[in-house]
């Protein structure tokens, strides 16, 4: 490849990090998405790539572009990244989270790994193609989205609902979170390719009782009933369920590390995986974590109603059995309201694109081996997969062996290794040229 993409990726990423695109979840305090989308549009336009800026609400901008491929009869490949970031509290950071500072071999800033790094890589690669007259083998659709960090309502979900025509013919997609390395030893690095995501079900539990005076004997107290249900849910450990993706992951990791991982009881082995243990631990069972409580309005009044929010994450194929189990735990009297639901997604770890990922990685890192994994969180892939697109998390990065990568997502001192970013550009370029 031409080296210009590698040369400019750091500067592009710095520019993006310096645009504050904090998404608080409240449209009144969410900023910068339009500025960032205009920046990307400008960089694409410089290289002669036309794009469309689409606002789902004032300043909630999404950007879509299509680069025609050599064989237009083939299905297109969607390459997507979100431009928004979660908030950062400057007082907790070692550097200004929006300074794009380079220090100790890292580029620092909110969004450095989630996911302005990949946004910049994509931009660097396609700008280089345009400069050198390169035409990719098939159509590449670029999508830069808003609102990934707060439910996707103004971003990918809006795009697929209002403008599905922009993604016509797309068969596969790559985006976050995957493609990063986990070092086994100096000759072997596993690169985790995301092929599945857990589903999300935000529930509100409602308990009702007889309102009354706080000084009386009272056996029908909504707060007590709710508290019992919340405690039962919070203390419950759902059983281990090993889905196809996780089974393959455990087999391959077990083989790479030379350890036997018992699929019926993989927890002990997962705990030994170091930096990625946290990422994997939540992928072998459904989870339900109480996050909010709401009841009462005065110290001496027993309210008639009490509510709690529970953040539930379900494995592919488990949504219904999970709900049945949850109902048993909380009992028949507490009402369940579904506040926000997103289904789990899963695709096979196979096919030409998956093979091309492995080949692109090995060309840059002879010790690379790809393994599929299930992610416990959710991404824009949930929206795009509703269009029938096979979605993969593949934003390639080579990481230092001891870096706690998982902790950087939404974390304090989020940063990306500069060399890892350049590595990512080279791998992405190879992949897209052979996709």
Nearer to Zn ion, 78 or 261 (CB): 78
Residue nearest to Zn ion (CB): 114
Maximum Cα–Cα distance for the chain, whole Å?
Answer: 82
Stretch that binds Zn ion, among 31-39, 135-143, 172-180, 209-217 (CB under 5 A): 172-180
Which 3 state secondary structure label does DSSP give 349? coil
Q: Find the part of the chain contacting Zn ion (CB under 5 A) among 108-116, 300-308, 336-344, 411-419.
A: 108-116
CB of 331 to Zn ion, least distance (A): 37
CA nearest to 114, candidates 202, 33, 178: 178
| One of 5, 16, 115, 141 touching Zn ion (CB under 5 A) | 115
Give the pairing of strands 102-103 and 368-375: unpaired
Nearer to Zn ion, 114 or 429 (CB): 114
Alpha carbon of 339 to those of 146, 208, 249, 311, 387: distances in Å?
21, 18, 32, 10, 23
3-state SS of the chain: helix, strand, coil percent to 5? 35, 25, 40
Output the smallest distance, CB 423 to Zn ion, in A.
20
Q: Binding segment for Zn ion among 154-162, 175-183, 318-326, 420-428 (CB under 5 A)?
A: 175-183
Asked if 21 and 32 touch (Cβ cutoff 8 Å), the reply is: yes
**Which CB atom, from 176 or from 201, has the smaller least distance to Zn ion?**
176
Q: Which is nearer to Zn ion, 114 or 172 (CB)?
A: 114
Residue 76 or 115 with smaller CB distance to Zn ion: 115
Residue 114 found at the interface with Zn ion (CB under 5 A): yes
Please say whether the beta carbons of 77 and 139 come within 8 A.
yes
For residue 317, is it left (φ>0), alpha (ψ between -120 and 50) or beta? left
CB-nearer residue toward Zn ion: 254 or 377: 377
Q: How far is CA 42 from CA 47, 340, 398, 407, in A?
A: 9, 35, 29, 33
Does 192 bind Zn ion (CB under 5 A)? Our answer is no
How far, in Å, CA of 164 to CA of 162, rounded? 6
Q: Hey, CA dihedral for 17, 77, 154, 278, is it positive or negative?
A: negative
Contacting Zn ion within 277-296 (CB under 5 A): none
Told to check if 147 binds Zn ion by CB under 5 A, we report: no
Q: If binding is defined by CB under 5 A, does position 117 make contact with Zn ion? A: no
Among candidate residues 35, 237, 68, the one with its CA nearest the CA of residue 140: 68
In the range 260-279, which residues lie near Zn ion by CB under 5 A? none
Q: Nearer Cβ to Zn ion, position 203 or 375? A: 375
**How many residues belong to the site for Zn ion (CB under 5 A)?**
3
Rounded Cα gap, residues 12 and 9, in angstroms: 5
Contact between 414 and Zn ion by CB under 5 A: the answer reads: no
Positions that interact with Zn ion (CB under 5 A): 114-115, 176
């Amino acid at each position: 490849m031409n080296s210009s993409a590698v040369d400019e990726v750091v500067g592009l990423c710095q520019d993006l990090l310096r645009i504050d695109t904090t998404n608080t979840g409240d449209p009144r305090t969410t900023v910068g998405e339009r500025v960032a989308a205009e920046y990307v549009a400008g960089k694409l336009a410089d290289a002669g790539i036309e794009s469309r800026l689409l606002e789902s609400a004032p300043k909630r901008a999404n950007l879509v572009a299509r680069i025609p491929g050599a064989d237009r009869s083939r299905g297109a490949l969607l390459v997507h990244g979100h431009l928004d970031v979660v908030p950062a509290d400057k007082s907790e950071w070692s550097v200004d989270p929006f300074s794009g500072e380079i220090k100790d071999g890292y580029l620092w800033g909110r969004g450095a790994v989630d996911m302005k790094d990949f946004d910049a890589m994509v931009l660097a690669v396609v700008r280089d193609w345009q400069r050198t007259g390169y035409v990719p083998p098939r159509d590449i659709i670029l999508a830069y989205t808003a609102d990934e960090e707060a439910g996707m309502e103004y971003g990918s979900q809006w795009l697929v609902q209002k403008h599905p025509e922009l993604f016509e013919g797309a068969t596969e997609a790559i985006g976050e979170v995957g493609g990063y390395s986990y070092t086994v030893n100096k000759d072997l690095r596993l690169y985790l390719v995301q092929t599945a995501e857990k589903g999300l079900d935000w529930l509100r539990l409602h308990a009702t009782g007889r309102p009354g005076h706080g000084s009386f004997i009272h056996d029908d107290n909504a707060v007590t009933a709710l508290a019992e249900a919340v405690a039962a849910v919070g203390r419950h450990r759902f059983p281990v369920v090993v889905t196809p993706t996780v089974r393959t992951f455990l087999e391959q990791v077990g083989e790479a590390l030379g350890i036997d991982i018992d699929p019926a009881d993989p927890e002990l082995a997962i705990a030994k995986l170091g930096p990625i243990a946290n990422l994997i631990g939540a992928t072998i069972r459904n989870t339900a974590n109480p996050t909010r409580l709401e009841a009462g309005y005065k110290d001496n009044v027993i309210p008639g109603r009490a509510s709690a929010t529970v953040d539930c994450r379900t494995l592919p194929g488990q949504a219904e059995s999970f709900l049945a189990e949850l109902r048993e735990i909380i009992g028949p009297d507490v009402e369940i309201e579904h506040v926000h639901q997103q289904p789990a997604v899963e695709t096979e770890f196979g096919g030409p694109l998956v093979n091309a990922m492995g080949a692109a990685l090995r060309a840059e890192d002879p010790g690379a081996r790809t393994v599929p994994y299930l992610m416990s969180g959710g991404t824009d892939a949930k929206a795009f997969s509703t269009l029938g697109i096979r979605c993969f998390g593949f934003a390639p990065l080579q990481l230092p062996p001891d870096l706690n990568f998982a902790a950087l997502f939404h974390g304090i001192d989020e940063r990306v290794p500069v060399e890892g970013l350049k590595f990512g550009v080279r791998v992405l370029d190879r992949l897209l040229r052979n996709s």
